[in-house]
């Protein structure tokens, strides 16, 4: 995925560099071929640039083109690095089994209260509903957190594993927790459904 994005980005840059070298007065016919790589806002900007017909707009045209190149390059690289990072922060059933025996790892079940009432929380985890996770990590003192969940409050390098029913909500919570500065946050792919399926086998 990362390599494909870089190739796409190079193609965009090549087309942009060729486009702004067209003579003033000519329509930039090549622009539509790369607008699929840009945001709607950027695409609109490209359409506006087509209308520049006078000599005193050449400098502005050149500046706008380079602006689009840099903006698109940053967007593609950022997305690629984000996806690459997330791929390395997933755990499976067997990782969960090991984590349940390690007191240094904090497992958080982020499902809602009614779900926990139906199935019970994931063994070895503390239950903090999805919408309360970030607030608990931000607002509770170490003593308050330990009193409420019977576990030490995690520090920024503590390994945290998040679980929900299928792995979707915990993935969203993973991003929220990472924004708080916790870098070792993992998502249990499959969540409770995966755990339950292994118990039946």
Average pLDDT over residues 119-143: 97
Q: Let me know if 51 is a catalytic residue.
A: no
Please identify, among 29, 53, 87, the residue that sits at the C-terminal boundary of a domain. 87
> 5-19, 84-98, 111-125 — which is least confidently predicted?
5-19
Based on the domain organization, do 196 and 137 belong to the same domain? yes
Catalytic residue among 46, 51, 67, 164: 164
Based on the domain organization, do 127 and 65 belong to the same domain? no
Based on the domain organization, do 20 and 81 belong to the same domain? yes
Choose between 180 and 5: higher pLDDT.
Answer: 180
Residue 54 burial (10 A CB sphere; 0-12, 13-18, 19+): exposed
Q: What is the pLDDT of residue 80?
A: 43
Based on the domain organization, do 109 and 187 belong to the same domain? yes
In the predicted model, is pLDDT for residue 64 greater than 50?
A: yes
pTM: 0.59
Based on the domain organization, do 80 and 157 belong to the same domain? no
Chain-centroid distance of CA 188 in Å reads 16
In the predicted model, is pLDDT for residue 46 greater than 70?
A: no
In the predicted model, is pLDDT for residue 110 greater than 90?
A: yes
Which residue shows structure tokens 């390994």? 159
Report pLDDT digits (tens) over 137-159: 999 999 999 999 999 999 999 99
Closest CA to 12 of 73, 88, 91: 73
Q: How many residues does the chain have?
A: 201
Query: Residue 200: pLDDT band by 50, 70, 90 thresholds?
Result: confident
- Percent of the chain past pLDDT 90, that is, above it, reads 55
Query: How confident is the prediction for the chain on average, in pLDDT?
Result: 74
Phi-psi region of 34 (alpha: psi -120 to 50; beta: other; left: phi over 0): alpha
Based on the domain organization, do 75 and 121 belong to the same domain? no
Alpha helices, H only, the chain: 2-19, 40-49, 58-87, 93-99, 113-119, 133-139, 142-149, 168-179, 191-200
Domain that holds residue 168: 90-200
Please identify, among 87, 103, 131, the residue that sits at the C-terminal boundary of a domain. 87
């Amino acid at each position: 995925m990362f390599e494909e994005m870089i190739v796409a980005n190079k193609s965009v840059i090549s087309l942009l560099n060729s486009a702004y070298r067209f003579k003033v007065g000519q329509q930039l016919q090549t622009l539509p071929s790369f607008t699929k790589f840009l945001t709607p806002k950027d695409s609109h900007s490209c359409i506006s640039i087509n209308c520049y017909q006078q000599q005193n707009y050449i400098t502005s045209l050149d500046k706008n083109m380079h602006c689009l190149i840099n903006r698109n390059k940053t967007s593609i690289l950022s997305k690629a690095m984000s996806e690459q990072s997330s791929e390395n922060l997933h755990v499976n059933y067997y990782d969960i089994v090991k984590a349940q025996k390690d007191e240094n790892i904090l497992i958080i079940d982020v499902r809602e209260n009614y779900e926990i009432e139906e199935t019970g929380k994931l063994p070895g985890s503390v239950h903090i509903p999805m919408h309360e996770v970030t607030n608990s990590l931000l607002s509770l003192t170490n003593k308050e957190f330990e009193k409420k969940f019977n576990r030490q409050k995690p520090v920024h390098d503590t390994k945290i594993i998040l679980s929900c029913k299928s792995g979707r909500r915990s993935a969203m919570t993973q991003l929220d927790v990472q924004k708080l500065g916790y870098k070792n946050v993992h998502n249990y792919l499959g969540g409770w459904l995966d755990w339950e399926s292994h118990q039946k086998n």
